[in-house]
């Protein structure tokens, strides 16, 4: 029996709960969740929820942390940054509608083997792996009448197939017997002549077949092969259309590798983004062909250091703290970095942060959009995506205010 203190705590928690809009941009669907504490720490480090903590107003006690839980319908696993919620003996879910972690009364994990406790924090869901194994795939229930109709149609089709096979077999037998009887009545010389004619016709047909094979060029074979493969059209940020086969594509990483090979673009310069929400897709995210309109390609600059003057002096990179002497750029505050490091820092810090500008890691000077575009030596696609990210962050900032 649940103690009175647990009930009171649950009521207080429910009364004080509120939706967390800042969690929504951090949602990403994943194929699996961490299975132990080491994997959890690694996944949490990649998600970097702590970078968003000071920009969210959902929690004031540093409980805005990494989660890997079921979605509301328990059909997918998702990673999300959200405030810790104490579960009441049920598996943890994240509701996009409620914008927070919720209990699933259907999945009572205290009855699993091994069971979970009647109260545990939501960010420790990885300790109870049985919750992840109970993903429900949506099915359309059939009524008894529909099941009966399906059974009857199956039986009718089977009977029709058997009848067709019997009729064909009977016709073949009749034709074979007719040929035997007809040949037995002909003189021996006519049979020899017919055999010679049949042999000549066979030789002519073989020659004709070889000519037809010779007529098929390598281009024709390639064209037929391409037609058989499923291809999908993808659009870049700047509006260019790229056709790509989806064969063996399971994750975003698989898609990037195919597109990189097809377009002869370095893998690091080709990213998949959601321009509507200003989000960069992670490599482990499962690719969903039925929702391909969510995926936009961002083609980067292969030569970021091109155009920067060299003075031969050695400086410390303000971001990576490494010594740099070539291909460097100087920011407005006087500190130095290199375009590639600066670009990686921008795409890690800005999407989903709610910021419309970045601050120098060593001083209080601000790096605005125009300087970031110039010093990162951004491509046209990267400029357009940065603009989308800043628009989303501006909306988020206004919503928090």
Neighbours of 391 (CB within 10 A): 13
Q: How many residues does the chain have?
A: 401
Q: What is the pLDDT of residue 184?
A: 58
- Whether 20 contacts 53, CB under 8 Å: no
Return the structure tokens found at 88: 């009441």
Q: What is the pLDDT of residue 145?
A: 62
Q: What's the Cα-to-Cα distance from 99 to each of 22, 30, 47, 80, 230, rounded to whole Å?
A: 9, 18, 18, 11, 37
- Sign of the four-CA dihedral 384, 397, 14, 87: positive
- Counting residues of the chain whose pLDDT is more than 70, the rounded percentage is 80
Q: What is the pLDDT of residue 4?
A: 43
Pick from 124, 121, 103, 97: which is nearest to 24 by CA?
Answer: 97
pLDDT, averaged across the chain: 81
- Whether 262 contacts 283, CB under 8 Å: no
Torsion angle of C-alpha atoms 145, 150, 151, 152, degrees rounded to 10: 90
pLDDT per position as a tens digit, 147-168: 778 888 899 999 999 999 999 9
For strands 231-235 and 241-245, give the pairing. antiparallel
Residue 161: which residues within 8 A CB-CB, separation 6 or more?
A: none
Q: Which position has the higher pLDDT, 375 or 226? A: 375
For strands 86-87 and 77-83, give the pairing. unpaired
Q: What is the pLDDT of residue 211?
A: 42
Q: What is the pLDDT of residue 143?
A: 56
Please tell me what DSSP assigns to residue 68.
Answer: E
| CB-count burial class (<10 Å; 0-12, 13-18, 19+) for 158 | exposed
Query: Confidence class of residue 219 from pLDDT cuts 50, 70 and 90?
Result: very low
| CB-count burial class (<10 Å; 0-12, 13-18, 19+) for 208 | exposed
* Helix, strand, coil % over all residues of the chain, rounded to 5: 45, 20, 35
DSSP alpha helix (H) spans, 296-354: 339-349
Q: What is the pLDDT of residue 101?
A: 93
Give the Cα separation of 327 and 312 in Å (integer).
Answer: 10
Tokens 């077949």 -> residue: 209
Give me the numbers of helices (H) and strands (E) for the chain, helices first please. Answer: 10, 18
Q: What is the pLDDT of residue 200?
A: 52
Q: What is the pLDDT of residue 142?
A: 53
- Poorest-confidence range of 171-185, 203-217, 300-314? 203-217
Q: Is the pLDDT of residue 251 over 90?
A: yes
Neighbours of 193 (CB within 10 A): 12
Query: Confidence class of residue 192 from pLDDT cuts 50, 70 and 90?
Result: very low
- Give the angle subtended at the CA of 115 by the CAs of 31 and 123, to the nearest 5°: 50
Q: Is the pLDDT of residue 194 over 60?
A: no
Query: Confidence class of residue 201 from pLDDT cuts 50, 70 and 90?
Result: low
- Poorest-confidence range of 29-38, 193-202, 353-362, 377-386? 193-202
Return the structure tokens found at 299: 């083609």
79-103 b/e with 16+ CB inside 10 Å = b?
A: bbbbbbbebbbbbbbbeeeebbbbb
* 315-400 matches 229-299 in CATH topology: no
How do the domains of the chain map onto residue ranges? 4-134, 194-228, 229-299, 315-400
Q: Which position has the higher pLDDT, 228 or 297? A: 297
Q: Which helix (H) or strand (E) holds 113?
A: none
Per-range mean pLDDT, top range of 9-23, 42-56, 279-293, 372-386 = 372-386
Beta bridge partners of 241: 235
Domain over 229-299 is classified CATH 3.10.129.10:
no
pLDDT per position as a tens digit, 2-28: 444 434 344 434 434 468 888 899 999
For the residues of 266-287, what is the DSSP string, one character each?
Answer: -GGGEEEEETTTTEEPPTTSBP
Q: Which fold has domain 315-400?
A: Herpes Virus-1 (3.30.40)
Neighbours of 271 (CB within 10 A): 21
Q: What is the pLDDT of residue 185?
A: 57
- Give the angle subtended at the CA of 267 by the CAs of 264 and 268, to the nearest 5°: 130
- Whether 26 contacts 352, CB under 8 Å: yes
Q: What is the pLDDT of residue 227?
A: 37
Q: What's the Cα-to-Cα distance from 62 to each of 50, 52, 103, 275, 347, rounded to whole Å?
A: 9, 11, 21, 30, 24
Q: What is the pLDDT of residue 2?
A: 42
Peptide bond into 114 cis (omega under 30): yes
Q: What is the pLDDT of residue 327?
A: 83
pLDDT per position as a tens digit, 273-314: 998 888 889 999 998 888 777 899 999 988 887 777 777 789
């Amino acid at each position: 029996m649940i103690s009175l203190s647990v009930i009171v705590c649950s009521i207080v928690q429910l009364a004080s709960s509120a939706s967390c809009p800042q969690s929504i941009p951090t949602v990403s669907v994943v194929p699996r969740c961490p299975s132990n504490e080491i994997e959890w720490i690694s996944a949490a480090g990649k998600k970097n929820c702590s970078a968003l903590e000071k920009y969210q107003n959902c929690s004031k006690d540093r409980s805005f942390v990494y989660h890997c839980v079921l979605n509301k319908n328990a059909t997918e696993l998702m990673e999300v940054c959200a405030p810790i919620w104490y579960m009441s003996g049920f598996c943890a879910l994240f509701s996009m509608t409620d914008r927070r972690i919720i209990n699933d009364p259907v999945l009572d994990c205290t009855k699993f083997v091994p069971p979970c406790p009647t109260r545990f924090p939501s960010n420790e869901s990885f300790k109870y792996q049985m919750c992840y194994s109970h993903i429900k795939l949506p099915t359309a229930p059939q009524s008894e009448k529909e099941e009966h109709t399906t059974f009857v149609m199956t039986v009718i089709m089977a009977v029709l197939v058997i009848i067709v096979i019997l009729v064909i077999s009977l016709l073949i037998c009749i034709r074979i017997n007719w040929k035997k009887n007809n040949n037995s009545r002909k003189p021996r010389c006519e049979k020899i002549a017919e055999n010679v004619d049949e042999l000549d016709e066979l030789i002519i047909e073989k020659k004709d077949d070889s000519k037809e094979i010779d007529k098929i060029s390598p281009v024709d074979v390639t064209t037929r092969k391409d037609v058989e493969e499923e291809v999908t059209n993808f659009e870049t940020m700047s509006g260019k259309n790229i056709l790509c086969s989806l064969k063996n594509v399971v994750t975003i990483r698989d898609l990037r590798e195919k597109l990189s090979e097809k377009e002869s673009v370095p893998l690091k310069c080709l990213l998949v983004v959601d321009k509507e929400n200003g989000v960069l897709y992670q490599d482990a995210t499962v690719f969903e062909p039925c929702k391909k309109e969510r995926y936009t390609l961002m083609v980067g600059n292969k030569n970021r250091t091109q155009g920067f003057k060299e003075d031969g002096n050695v400086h410390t990179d303000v971001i990576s703290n490494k010594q740099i002497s070539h291909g460097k750029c100087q920011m407005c505050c006087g500190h130095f970095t290199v375009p590639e490091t600066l670009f990686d820092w921008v795409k890690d810090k800005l999407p989903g942060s709610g910021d419309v500008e970045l601050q120098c890691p060593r001083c209080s000077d601000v790096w605005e959009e125009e300087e970031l575009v110039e010093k990162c030596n951004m491509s046209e696609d990267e400029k357009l995506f940065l603009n989308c990210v800043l628009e989303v962050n501006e909306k988020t900032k206004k919503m928090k205010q």
